[in-house]
Amino acid sequence: MFSKILVANRGEIAVRIIRACKEMGIATVAVYSQADSDALHVALADESYCIGAPEASDSYLNEERILSAALISGAQAIHPGYGFLSENAHFASLCKRNGVVFIGPSAEDMDRLSDKTQVKKHMENAGLRVIPGSDALYSEADALAAAQEIGCPVMLKARSGGGGRGIRLVNSLEELPAAFAIAAAEGESAFGDSAVYLEKYIYPARHVEVQILADEAGHVVCLGERDCSVQRRHQKLMEESPSPAVSEEQRQDLFRRISAAVQAVGYVGAGTLEFLLDTQGNFWFMEMNVRLQVEHSVTEMLTHIDLVKWQIRAAAGISLNFRQSDIILKGACLECRINALAPGELRMLHIPGGPFVRFDTFLVQGTQISPYYDSLLGKLVVWAGTREETVRKMRAALCELVIDGLQTNIEEQLTILGEEAFRTGQYDLTFMESR
C-alpha cells in the first residue's frame, strides 16, 4: 500500500480523497492554484504546493507542475479525482515514466476505452447492445454523410467530451453544419480534440448508469445502477439509486452482461458504464467513464462500499474482498447537486444532520467562490428504506441546508422533488426541457 498520495484536484472531490487517505493511514499532498490558497483541501492535507495561477490551464491542468510536486514530496501515487487530468492518457503515461502510480487505468486502457467510438465496438463485441452511430468524424461533409446513413434525428457528440459539453441534438440535415461547428469547437477548447461522432437519437429514454469495480485478478462487481435522467442541457442535477424504472430481472441480466463485458476488455479499477433505457426496456450502451464520477456518493450510501478506498487498493494491486453476491441493494438513495449560480463569499453554512444524511462539500465560512472553476458546491445525499421516504427525507434536508451569501439552486431542487412525474418515478430525459 502507498504511504503518500498526491491529490491532483480541488473542491469537494479533493476533500473526499484526502479523508479516505487519512482513514487508510496514508499521508496526503495537496496542490492548489493561487485562487485556492485558503481552500479546505489545502488545510486538510499533510503538505501542499502552489502550482500556478487561478486558470486551470496554469494549475490543475499543468501536468509538469503536478508531477514535479509529486516527485519533490515523495508521493508514490497521484489520485486525479474527476475532471481535469482524470482521463488524460498522456499524464498517466508521464506518471508511469517517472515511477509514480496513476490511480486509474493505464494510459493504454485509457486510450482504448475513453475513445467513445472505439469503446462501443469493444462493448458490442462483448455482448452489449450499443446505440447505432458513426466512427470519429473530422469534417462537416463526413458528418452529413453519416447523418444521412443513420437517419435524423441524431445526437452529435465530441469524441472526447464529458460533463455535457460538445453535445448537440440535430433534428434535420439542415441543422447539422452549425451543430458540427459548435460541437467541434467545444471539443477542441475543452478537451483538445475536435473530432465528433453521431449517434441515433433514442427518444424518449432514461439515462441509467452502472458503477463497477474490477481488480487485476479479473473479478468484476456491479454496485447498482444510478438513474441520472434529471438533467438540464446534458448536465446532471439529481441522481437516485436504484432506478425506479429498472426491475430486478432487468437489473440482474444487465449486471451479468456488464461483468462479462468488463472482463472481456480487461479493465481494472472503478468505472461506470452509461446507457439509455428506452420505453421497451432495452439498455443501449453509450460510453464508459474510466474514472470516479461526481455521483459516486449515492452508490456509496446505498452499498456501504467506499469507492475511493477501493480505487486506491486496486491501483496498489489489492484484490476485491467481496463478490457480486455480497452486494445487497436495500432501500433507496437520492443525491442533489448543490450548485452556485454566481461567484460570491459564503457568510454562513449549516449542514443538515440526522441518520443517513451526507453532504460532500469543500465549504467553510468565508469560502470565496471564484468564476474559474465548476459551480458545484456540494452533494447532498440521503438514504431511507423506501423511495417515498427518501424523497421526503431529501426535502427535509434541503429545507435545513443553509448556504448564506451565495446564490444556489436549492429552491430548484425542492421544486423538482414536488413534481408529480418525479414523485411517481415516471420521468425521463425530457423532464427538464420545459423548465
Residues carrying an active site annotation: 291
Supply 353's cell numbers: 444532520
In this structure, what are the phi and psi dihedrals at residue 366, rounded to the nearest 5 degrees?
95, -5
Supply 368's cell numbers: 470565496
> What does the angle CA 303 – CA 381 – CA 369 come to, to the nearest 5 degrees?
135
Cα gap 18→21, rounded to integer Å? 5
Cα gap 342→388, rounded to integer Å? 33
Residue 362 Cα to chain centre, angstroms: 17
Q: Are strands 4-7 and 27-33 parallel, antiparallel or unpaired?
A: parallel
Closest CA to 298 of 211, 364, 416, 232: 211
